[in-house]
Amino acid sequence: MGNNWQNKQVLVTGAAGFIPSHLVERLIDLGASVRALVHYNSRGDIGNLKEVSSDTKRNQNLEVVFGDLRDLATIKKVSSSCSYIFHLGALIAIPYSYINPSEVVNSNMIGTLNVLLAARETKPERIIHTSSSEVYGTALYVPIDENHPLQGQSPYSASKIGADKLAESFYLSYNLPVVTLRPFNTYGPRQSARAVIPTIISQALTSDRIQLGNLETKRDLTYVSDTVEGFIKVAETPGVEGQTFNLGTGCEISISDLVAEIEEILGRKFDIIVDKNRIRPEKSEVMRLLSDNAKAKKVLGWVPQYTLRQGLRKTIEWVEKNLNLFTPEKYQL
């Protein structure tokens, strides 16, 4: 168990995003050379990678490449000579998937297909494909293990189910060394207001009222450093090709209790306003996500290190320093 990451060439897709940027940082610190695929934009904006590239030592082992997952030629090019592919690139906002389902399906399914096709030619040691707990839909039983039925309750979750099945099919059809990781709701520094925790915190730091959607939904919240360690462990563990692993804490909390937790840390009370624009369509709402992480613990030796309170404190600290990145009064899709 355990890799020598020194001088290993590694590809991370979606690298400008929240979890991928933390993964890039961790891989570089372990000694890897990281090729970071960022979705092209005319501003040359590398998103969260700014926080990684500003460190001169880390920057020496970081190669940023602009491109689009939907372009197979690009994916073949960036995959070449990579020992590991960490595929995290995706359009992840559920509300956005209601508005633009075609774009979400194209990015998430065709993007994944291209990564798999490229890997058949470039032959990496392992491809780590990123799923989402949203593929389970509202829990039919708890805790949710890896055998729980998959339910496409939003175009986003349907696109991720499709991507997961493509990964599975390439393992079964071509013996491609793919492993699927299914993180439950990850949070922490660098996350945008698209997610509920930064939404609550940014409003709490700038107002006496907090606008939210459904307060009764329950989520299993994992701090980003713990999620990243799951990626590292699944890359390092031999013999797990073709398997799927949940990454979650095995604890759940309702959104209303989450607000109370943040109130306690900040030592303030807030008026909670339910904004109907933030509520998912009734049949699409995922009421409960609670992971069974026994498989990841047993096979990967992965154990979450952060309590919710510890993770929230670190996240609040980061949002406070970076309030310029947020528009708390606006609903972010």
- Write the pLDDT tens digit of every residue in 189-207: 999 988 999 999 999 999 9
Note the pLDDT tens digit of each residue in 157-168.
999 999 999 999
**Does the pLDDT value for residue 308 go beyond 90?**
yes
**Does the pLDDT value for residue 294 go beyond 80?**
yes
Active site residue 223: no
Domain range spanning residue 147? 9-187+223-249+290-305
- Distances in Å between the alpha carbon of 137 and those of 117, 149, 184, 288? 28, 9, 12, 8
What are the tokens at 200?
């609550």
The whole-number pLDDT of residue 207 equals 92
In a domain? residue 54? yes
Q: What is the band of 1 on the pLDDT scale with cuts at 50, 70, 90?
A: very low
The whole-number pLDDT of residue 98 equals 96
In a domain? residue 69? yes
Give this prediction's pTM. Answer: 0.96
- Residues 6 or more apart from 304 whose CB is under 8 A from it? 222, 223, 226, 249, 293
What does the pLDDT average to over 110-136? 98
- Given 84, 156, 171, 187, the catalytic residue: 156
Instruction: Report whether 225 contacts 188 (CB < 8 A).
Output: yes
In a domain? residue 199? no
The whole-number pLDDT of residue 2 equals 56
Q: How many domains does the chain have?
A: 1
- Residues 6 or more apart from 90 whose CB is under 8 A from it? 14, 107, 108, 111, 130, 159, 160, 163
In a domain? residue 244? yes
Average predicted confidence (pLDDT) for the chain: 95
The whole-number pLDDT of residue 333 equals 66
In a domain? residue 276? no
In a domain? residue 230? yes
In a domain? residue 129? yes
CATH of the domain at 156: 3.40.50.720
What does the pLDDT average to over 48-63? 90
- H-run or E-run covering 242: none
**Does the pLDDT value for residue 332 go beyond 80?**
no
In a domain? residue 208? no
